[in-house]
A and B are shown apart, each in its own frame.
Chain A
Amino acid sequence: MNLRQEFTKGLVAENPVLRLALGLCPSLAVSSSVENALGMGISVVFVLTMSNLIISLMRNIIPAKIRIPIYIVIIATFVTIVEMIMAAYQPALFRALGIFVPLIVVNCIILGRAEAFASKNSIWPAIIDAWGMGVGFTFALVMIATVREILGNGTWLNMPVAPAGFEPVLLMMLAPGAFITMGLILAMFNWSDDAKAKKLKDAVIKRAGFITEQPKTERSN
């Protein structure tokens, strides 16, 4: 697999939130506005890149039996760095994200990539994998936040986008809106997967039918 594929697989094909169902808590909790979603996404990209880098560098000297505690300490170190930087330079964002900044430690995407990828690959693939997965996570968050912010507040990234007379749906900003938006987006992805699989199956049947020259009536339904 080349580096380009390592990057693009995290965007859609193996999107951590929408396909692998990892990191669901932050993607529901901070998606009430696009600004918060971007802030969380960038923090996760940073932590994921640095932890993948360090773990990939140390992969031959970490004893297999205690690898998970070591990974957690490495991740927690970078989360603490993010916490301090954000508190110093983006205090408003830090307050808005609240408890979910320290909770990046238990974001299963980061530990998952450490265990599944960085511990088995050299530095460059590990970094590219982190970028792909991080950007995929950010993409999913921004997608959910876009739906919620436009419907719930009539704005996108704090810019008013709704037509005049639009009545914001407060429910979308509250907890239920997050769950329902997430459910519908997952359903949309399932539906497009099914449609693609069906198209592929039809194409195969069509070619097989052409080869064996079956009568057309048998295939029509």
Chain B
Amino acid sequence: MDWGNLFVIAVGAILINNFVLMRFLGICPYIGVSKSLSSAIGMGMAVIFVMTIASLFSWIVYVYLLDPATNFWGVDLTFLRTISFILVIAGLVQFVEMVIQKLAPSLYQALGIYLPLITTNCAVLGVAVLNIDENYSLVESLVNGIAAGIGFTLALVLMAGIRERLDLADVPKALQGVPIAFIMAGLMAIAFLGFSGLSVG
């Protein structure tokens, strides 16, 4: 197994092409759930979890059911990609929610309210589509899924930390709330631009 390649994918997804700050995926939860640190961590964990299993299952569905070169029936069904991925993700989220509720009630208490929100989180569908666009193998897709989730959590937790302090700051009235959050996201994105000079591998 090519560990170096996996490392490049992971660093790329966490820092260089951070899902939130560089690719603009998952902006709604990034602005909406970043008001307190504890909810940001809960949301982040839920997203890492869902992104990992969504990467796994969407890859299996695409390669074994849709792609004419590798699927069982040799018919080109790639036009069904968007529909099948969103259904796989929606079904998975529902299933995961039921399993967690049954097996780990305390985890369900922590993550429960965030799970339904994740179905329409574009970052999850985004990572599934990106895995296919980049022609990743199964292991590479998994690593990309986990790393994208970690990158999302990193951006979300950093933002929540700043916003908790911002409550004490004297912000002009028109900028209070969402506008200042966007401007801070812009400043964080400038900081993350620094990573694009990073050469790995």
Contact = CB atoms under 8 A, between A and B. Distances in A.
Contact of B24 (A111, A178, A184, A194): A178
B25 to A, nearest CB: 6
Contacts of B181: 183
SS class, residues of chain A in contact with chain B: helix
A179 B174 contact: no
A169 interface: no
Contact of B28 (A25, A76, A83): A25
A188 B173 CA distance: 11
B178 interface: yes
Contacts of B185: 179, 183
Interface in B140-194: 172-176, 178-183, 185-187, 189-190, 192-193
B22 interface: yes
A24 B176 CA distance: 18
B126 interface: yes
B179 A77 contact: no
Nearest to B174: A191
Chain B interface size, under 10 / 10 to 19 / 20 to 34 / 35 or more: 35 or more
Contacts of A184: 179, 183
B31 interface: yes
Nearest to A31: B24
B179 A183 contact: yes
Given A108-B120, A176-B190, A176-B193, A83 B182 contact: no
A194 B120 CA distance: 32
Contact of A179 (B23, B87, B120, B183): B183
Contacts of A102: 81-82, 85, 125, 129
